[in-house]
Amino acid sequence: MKKFFLIFILALIPFASTTVSAESDLPLNSEAGIVIDAKSGKVLYEKNMNKKMYPASLTKVATAIYAIEHGDQDELVTVSKKAAEADGSSVFIEPGEEIELSKLIAGMLINSGNDAAIAIAEHMSGSEKLFMEDLNEFLRKEVNVTDTHFMNPHGLFDKNHVTTASDLAKITRYAMKNATFREYFGNKDLPWKVKTWDTTLVTHHKMLKGEIPYKGITGGKTGFVSKSGYTLISTATRGEQDLIAVTLNAPSGKVAYSDTELLFNYGFENFKSAKIDKKSILYSADHSKHYKLNEDLYYTHLISDEPSLKTSNDGILSIMNKEGKAIASFDLKTVAEVRNTEVPARIKKETIHEEANKLSVPSLEWGGFVISIILMTVFLKKSRKNRRTRY
């Protein structure tokens, strides 16, 4: 009986599959581009993602999340002459006008107001220069960017105002964890009444406002100056999967959107997000320790793949593919509560990572399913025969 159930369990274990790579060369026309899984941070595809480039108004994503996290959203901001006279796109605010910080942030994101960006910077740090010191430090220490240095809060051209597609994806991923930012970033329009202007602001992002429809689009920010070309950040969700796409220096707006669609389609059609629930308890390989997670853990795998979980004796949880290669790993000592576990030697020898099996819920492979049915049938026939023999 015990042998039968062991065989039955083994028959249900799925065949492993390939690494997290969907070998493809996307025909992107933008100079740089990237698409990431927003939950795991996994890079699904990239082109020149670490090349330093000019972001234009994509800069405002960083200004917005900093102001949301460090400012009082209900405070009134007094607009300076410098802010009101900012070059480029504007929300038409006037010197001396008092406007709520939350309203300026939303207007800056939706209508890309350079005047709003300067007003926010001066309010937050006392001057635009000091704000840039604060913002750059925040991006390095809190968001962990490595190749970004911003010279202003709006993105008008400066030869030293640079970032990368990779860093912009990180900044957007960080920002999208904030509910207030997500609300502003996903707004298609905003009633706007200031001293000299009573209107409705409409997002510049053509996918978001439906001019270029895309299923699942949740937010976006556009950018353009002649030195940067057309730049674009977009977010989209389908089912449990959240993606972030960035394109830099496209030759036209049309190309920026078509490249974004290519990146999104590639991500949604080839990859899947998976979660290890924070309520789970994992055991070390020798069962001497167990780990109670403090947070949900996310990883990304090919849609065709059903990875297995493996925990080492020193607390490293690895997500393994068919070839025995780790496609993701977590140090459980930093994301879980660690405790010693007293487990009888017999159980240590016979137990097959029960928690790992629970977490990696397999879809039954036909081969294993057929074998299981055959074995069950044989077992039942044998049981009936034994009962007839006794009687």
Please state, as a whole number, how many other Cβ atoms lie within 10 Å of the Cβ of residue 351: 13
User: Is 103 in the active site?
Assistant: no
Three-class secondary structure assignment of the chain:
CHHHHHHHHHHHCCCCCCCCCCCCCCCCCCCEEEEEECCCCCEEEEECCCCCECCHHHHHHHHHHHHHHHCCCCCEEECCHHHHCCCCCCCCCCCCCEEEHHHHHHHHHHHCCHHHHHHHHHHHHCCHHHHHHHHHHHHHHCCCCCCCECCCCCCCCCCCCEECHHHHHHHHHHHHCCHHHHHHHCCCEEEEEECCEEEEEECCCCCCCCCCCCCCEEEEEEEEECCCEEEEEEEEEECCEEEEEEEEEECCHHHHHHHHHHHHHHHHHHEEEEEECCCCEEECCCCCEEEEECCCEEEEEECCCCCEEEECCCCEEEEECCCCCEEEEEEHHHHEEEEECCCCHHHHHHCCCHHHHHHCCCCCCHHHHHHHHHHHHHHHHHHHHHHHHHC
User: Is 112 in the active site?
Assistant: yes
- Catalytic residue, candidates 112, 125, 234, 258: 112
User: Is 166 in the active site?
Assistant: no
- Catalytic residue, candidates 39, 47, 60, 289: 60
Could you tell me the maximum CA-CA distance found in the chain, to the nearest angstrom?
A: 102
Q: Are strands 281-283 and 76-78 parallel, antiparallel or unpaired?
A: unpaired
Burial code (b: 16+ CB inside 10 Å, e: under 16) for 362-390 equals eeeeeebeebbeeeeeeeeeeeeeeeeee
- Catalytic residue, candidates 57, 90, 258, 284: 57
Active site residue ranges? 57, 60, 112
